[in-house]
Amino acid sequence: MSMEKFRLDGKTALVTGGGRGIGRAIALGFSQAGAAVAVAARTNEEIEAVADEIVKGGGKGLALPCDVLRRDEVVALVSGVENEFGRVDILVNNAGGGCPIVPFLELEEDAWDLHVARNLKSVFLCSQAVGRSMAARGGGNIINISSIMGLGPHPLRAPYSAAKAGVGALTQTLSVELAPHNIRVNAIAPGFIEVARYWKQFPNYEQTVRPARLAKVPLGRMGVPDDVADLAVFLASDASSYITGQVIRLDGGTVTTVYYKTEDSRAEWW
Catalytic site residues? Answer: 160
DSSP 150: G
Residue among 17, 88, 63, 31 at smallest CA distance from 233: 31
Contact yes or no for 65/41 (Cβ under 8 A): yes
How buried is residue 207: exposed, middle or buried, by Cβ count under 10 Å (0-12/13-18/19+)?
exposed
Residues 186 and 244: their CA atoms lie apart, in Å, by 5
Contact yes or no for 254/270 (Cβ under 8 A): yes
Contact yes or no for 9/35 (Cβ under 8 A): yes
- Burial readout 119-157 (b: 16 or more C-beta within 10 A, e: otherwise): bbbbbbbbbebbbebbeebeebbbbbbbbbbbbeebebb
Give, for 163, the enclosing helix (H) or strand (E): helix 158-177
> H-type helices in 18-157, by residue range?
21-32, 44-56, 71-85, 109-116, 122-137
Residues 128 and 238: their CA atoms lie apart, in Å, by 23
- Cα separations in angstroms, 17 against 1, 67, 69, 167, 212: 34, 10, 12, 16, 28
